[in-house]
Amino acid sequence: ATFFEMKVSRNFKHKTSEETCRAFWTKGQTSADPSDLFYSLACSAPLTSPLPTPLTGDWLDQHEERGQTLRSFENSAFKMVPHGTVDTLFLLPIGDFPDTDHCPPMEVLSEYLALFYPGLQVQVLPAVALADLNPTTRQNPHRQLLIGDLFAHMKTLRKNRQLARRQLAIVGVTMEDLYPGDEWNFVFGQANITDGYGMFSFARYHPQFTGETGIGARLRVLSRCLKVLSHEVGHLAGLLHCVYFECLLNGANHLQELDRQPFHLCPLCLKKLSSTFKWHGAHRSVELARFYAQHGFAEGAARQEALARWFAK
């Protein structure tokens, strides 16, 4: 079915209000806390939206997920936590990034990640030429790179003593299409949460690749890249897919679903990461609103401005 022919999924059930309330409870908590700022935010209809009912073909129509409560997040051993001088996420460009509307500027991506995850330092490493990696390739019908060969290089960087002093994680990005094995058609990317690295391709984000028309290429590419990067770094920080609210951490099965997703974290995911990164909610929202306005995302800017007022009151 095309996107416009999709129907509401029959395979998914929303969380009950009681299950959602309990998801905000921390260790040892046995009842709702009236002073919980994040749960209060979750009950604020203008600022928090319920999880949209998935359509056929969407992530939650195809994947059964229990969701992650605050307690489950707190008990997870695998999450990226800044500590001491170990506070840096390294962004690694692989291959060419020509100066066209197909390619998001690295400095914009790194600025955004630093604003989205205050407390996390983001540094762009020198780009690595494909000739220096000599990865396995195939034609399908265009060139694709075997993602495992790129991971091998990232594992080497994880062991680099100079980087290890500050390194929380390494995220590789490329404009080349990727595949994980002969049985796969392609993959947008993969992450190894336990070892702290991920690799993601932006090759399929331009409307030209999918034949989409009537949309601004530059904004659409940038929107998709910002969402995917901030989503995947959220996984490295310990977040699982969100099934409680409309949220950046909702799963996405295809580009149309990715485009429907918001830039923002829901109150539950905000509560999880605010404890890890010690965020100042109002300041973070003010900075994100400035970024969105600067880059033409009016809806994202308006939401963060409203959140800044909420946190400041």
* CA separation, residue 184 to residues 62, 140, 147, 172 (Å): 17, 11, 11, 20
Amino acid in the structure at residue 236 = L
Amino acid in the structure at residue 98 = P
- The tokens 């000599």 sit on which residue? 134
Q: Is 203 exposed, middle or buried (0-12, 13-18, 19+ CB in 10 A)?
A: buried
Judge whether 5 counts as a catalytic residue: no
Q: For the chain, what is the largest distance between any 2 Cα atoms, rounded to a whole number of angstroms?
A: 59
Residues 232, 257, 287, 299: which is the catalytic one? Answer: 232
Question: Mutual orientation of helices 281-294 and 106-116 as an angle, nearest 10°?
Answer: 160
**How crowded is the C-beta side of 223, counted as CA atoms within 13 Å?**
24
* Run of H or E including 183: none
Name the CA dihedral angle for 295, 3, 191, 162, rounded to a multiple of 10 degrees: -20
As a whole number of angstroms, the distance between CA 79 and CA 94 comes to 25
Active-site amino acid positions: 232
